[in-house]
């Protein structure tokens, strides 16, 4: 069996990207106590859309804006913005590590959606990993405990929407990567700007909060850029396990900034969710490797 070499620089980029995402989440959580959630989500995506234009326009002009898949981009962007809004509402009410862990239920949900929407085959291993992930989610939210409230359900619904977003991304694999980055951010910013313009009263935001929000938005944007750079240096299947560093950063920031730390049940659930996600990644990687030679043999006939 051929072992895939993973460049150290790509791994470091992934770890830095997940640290950026955890920082963005911490900033949004801190500001959600003082500002409306839709405003924070709008700022997050508006900053990313502007940063992507500033990054790509000098290199490729308007080429990354050209697409024949306008409707798909609108649907994909709409799904992402719904996921983002639900995630931030959950983040405002629950510990950072718990919400982040529930968001990592998305890989298990991708397996389910891939069977339903992409007609992929159900295997015993897939079923086992999904069931294990579900057990992890139950340990994190614990029905009957103080953690089991509306915000927990919002976090799970957000993960479901993000899983759908990932499946839609797979169906648009031939699209320009710049377009796949820009359009969800632009759709999110525009979709939220319209209702905010008519319903939001003037808000006096101190410059310190403005700079904090901008810094958080830029952290998220840099995180996406570092993901792109990392995936240029190594296959996604080899790097995906390192994305679970996000859970480590979220736990550390939750403790350092907000004074919260998962209890034993939640830690066990987080570990099971992470383990299930990693095993799904390795399983899908092996299936793809096994399918490749068989396709090549058929093509040689």
**279 versus 223: which is more confidently predicted?**
223
Q: Are 35 and 201 in contact (CB under 8 A)?
A: no
Which pLDDT score, from 0 to 100, does residue 2 have? Answer: 47
How far is the C-alpha of 26 from the C-alpha of 29, rounded, in Å? 5
**pLDDT tens digits, one per residue of 249-300:** 999 999 999 998 888 888 898 888 888 777 777 776 676 666 555 555 555 5
Residues 37-49, mean pLDDT to the nearest whole number: 91
**Does position 179 have pLDDT exceeding 60, yes or no?**
yes
Which pLDDT score, from 0 to 100, does residue 64 have? Answer: 77
How far is the C-alpha of 19 from the C-alpha of 146, rounded, in Å? 28
Q: Are 95 and 268 in contact (CB under 8 A)?
A: no
Rounded to two decimals, the pTM is 0.82
Residues 230-255, mean pLDDT to the nearest whole number: 82
Domain borders along the chain are 8-290
Q: Is 209 exposed, middle or buried (0-12, 13-18, 19+ CB in 10 A)?
A: middle
């Amino acid at each position: 069996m051929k072992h895939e070499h993973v460049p150290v620089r790509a791994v470091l980029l992934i770890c830095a990207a997940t640290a950026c995402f955890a920082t963005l989440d911490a900033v949004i959580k801190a500001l959600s106590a003082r500002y409306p959630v839709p405003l924070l989500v709008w700022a997050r995506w508006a900053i990313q859309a502007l940063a992507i234009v500033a990054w790509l326009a000098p290199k490729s002009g308007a080429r990354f804006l050209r697409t024949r898949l306008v409707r798909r981009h609108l649907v994909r962007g709409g799904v992402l913005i719904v996921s983002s809004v639900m995630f931030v509402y959950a983040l405002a009410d629950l510990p950072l590590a718990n919400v982040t862990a529930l968001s990592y239920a998305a890989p298990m949900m991708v397996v389910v959606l891939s069977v339903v929407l992409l007609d992929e085959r159900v295997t015993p291993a897939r079923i086992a990993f999904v069931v294990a992930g579900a057990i992890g989610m139950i340990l994190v939210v614990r029905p009957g405990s103080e953690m089991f409230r509306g915000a927990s359900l919002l976090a799970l619904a957000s993960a479901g929407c993000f899983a759908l977003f990932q499946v839609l991304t797979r169906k648009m694999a031939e699209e320009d990567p710049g377009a796949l980055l820009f359009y969800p951010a632009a759709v999110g910013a525009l979709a939220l700007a319209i209702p905010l313009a008519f319903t939001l009263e003037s808000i006096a935001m101190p410059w310190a909060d403005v700079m904090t929000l901008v810094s958080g938005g830029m952290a998220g944007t840099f995180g996406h850029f570092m993901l792109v750079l990392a995936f240029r240096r190594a296959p996604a299947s080899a790097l995906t396990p390192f994305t679970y560093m996000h859970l480590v950063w979220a736990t550390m920031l939750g403790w350092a900034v907000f004074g919260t730390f998962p209890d034993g049940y939640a830690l066990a659930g987080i570990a099971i969710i992470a383990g299930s996600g990693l095993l799904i990644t390795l399983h899908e990687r092996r299936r793809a490797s096994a399918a490749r030679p068989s396709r090549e043999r058929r093509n040689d006939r």
